[in-house]
Amino acid sequence: MGSIDTTTVSVIAANLQTILGLNTRVLAVQPVPEYAFLARRGQYDGGKILQALTAVPAGSQFRLAVVAVDIFTPILTFVFGESQLGGIAAVISVFRTKSNNRKTSYDRAAKIAIHEVGHLLGIVHCRAPDCLMGFSNNLDKLDALPLRFCDACEFEAGRLLMHLFGKPGERRRPG
Ligand SMILES: [Zn+2]
Ligand SMILES: [Zn+2]
């Protein structure tokens, strides 16, 4: 939604396939979700975007919006992403994740997206130091997260994927 680089979306889709074995269908770029704008904050309400995504007729197990604008939740000044734990809708923002290094920008977007889809599967935050399900609220923390789950979250993801789809994801483990 909004001014989104299509390569970013492709990178996210590729990582959803590689890490979680999820097939993706990338939709055409949509306009900025003005219905979610809160003038008082000059930001967009992630919860309203999730509501709108949830209302889209079924067609896929999960819906993930990648938005160019800054998003917030009522208790936080901003969020990189927001999702329904065990639900169907997630939103991520690339507003604060741009870097002069394109790989860094892509890695950040992929990390936030996989993290939020992890929540959709039902995985909660993880304190393991080597796990993408760790909470991050600034770029230093985000950059320090690996683009993978710890063994425990990996196992849980496999179990939940099996529960949802009746088969393990077709994961392709890189290296
Ligand atoms: Zn989280
Ligand atoms: Zn973990």
Give me the residue spans of the domains in the chain.
6-165
* C-alpha distance from residue 103 to each of 9, 60, 114 (Å): 13, 29, 16
136 in helix, strand or coil?
coil
CA of 130 to the centre of ligand 2 (A): 7
Q: Both tokens of residue 168?
A: 């393990």
CATH homologous superfamily of 6-165 equals Collagenase (Catalytic Domain) (3.40.390.10)
* CA 20 / ligand 2 centre spacing (Å): 14
Q: Give residue 135 CA to ligand 2 midpoint distance, Å.
A: 10
Give me the residue label for tokens 């936080």: 76
Residues labelled as active-site residues = 116
3-state SS record for 58-87: CCCCCEEEEECCCEEECCEEEECEEECCCC
Query: Which residues hold their Cβ within 5 A of ligand 2, which is an ion?
Result: 126, 128, 131, 133, 150, 153
**pTM score, whole prediction:** 0.93
Reported as a pLDDT band with limits 50, 70 and 90, residue 172 is low
pLDDT, mean over the chain: 93
Q: Which tens digit of pLDDT belongs to each residue from 74-100? A: 888 899 999 999 999 999 999 999 999
Q: CA distances (Å), 104 to each of 12, 98, 99, 146, 159, in order? A: 13, 8, 6, 12, 30
